[in-house]
Amino acid sequence: MASKSSKTDHLKGVSFFEGCNRKELQTIAKAGDEIKMTAGTIIVDQGQMGREAFVVLDGEVTVKRNGRKIVSLGPGAVVGELSLLDHGPRTATVVCDTDCELLVIDQRHFRSVLEKSPTMAHKLLASLAGRIRSFDRQYYG
């Protein structure tokens, strides 16, 4: 298992957390648990209710929507992040292509972190808005 500083270093490379400083990343790292999943394991299943997000620390995953491959992702990717904000259904299925090490952050712990640091909440909302704008430009021009 990775040390707290190693988890923090991984989070530095995650675009969702790009506006966070080292102390904020350490707080997020403490709120998460490192888990291992084997190749072929479904991390999130489209349509199921989500309550956590996953940061890929090591390994490769594939994101599928309606059974169609969207993208392959590796270390530094985050999946399921919308579930940190709501209890809505998963928008895609994510499967481990290889054995993976993941940092799982559940909604309850994440909200606790944000309640203690409104500044971090603003940074993450700005990051999420930027991602939505990027996807909008990518798909709609």
The letter for the amino acid at 11 is: L
Number of domains in the chain: 1
Integer Cα distance of 12 and 18 in angstroms: 7
Q: Are 77 and 56 in contact (CB under 8 A)?
A: yes
pLDDT at 1 over 60: no
Instruction: Give the pLDDT score at 71.
Output: 93
Instruction: Convert the pLDDT of each residue in 95-114 to its tens digit.
Output: 999 999 999 999 898 888 88
Assess if residue 57 is contained within a domain. yes
> Order of strands, edge to edge, in the sheet holding 33-37?
33-37, 100-106, 52-58, 78-79
Residue 113 belongs to some domain of the structure: no
In a domain, 40, yes or no: yes
The residue written with tokens 């940074």 in the block is 123
114 assigned to some structural domain: no
pTM: 0.86
- Residue with tokens 């989070």, as numbered in its chain: 11
Residue 4 pLDDT class (50, 70, 90 cuts): low
**Residue-number span of the structural domain to which 99 is assigned:** 4-107+122-136
pLDDT digits (tens, 9 = 90+) for 43-65: 999 999 999 999 999 999 999 99
CB 97 within 8 A of CB 71: no
Assign residue 73 the CATH number of its domain: 2.60.120.10
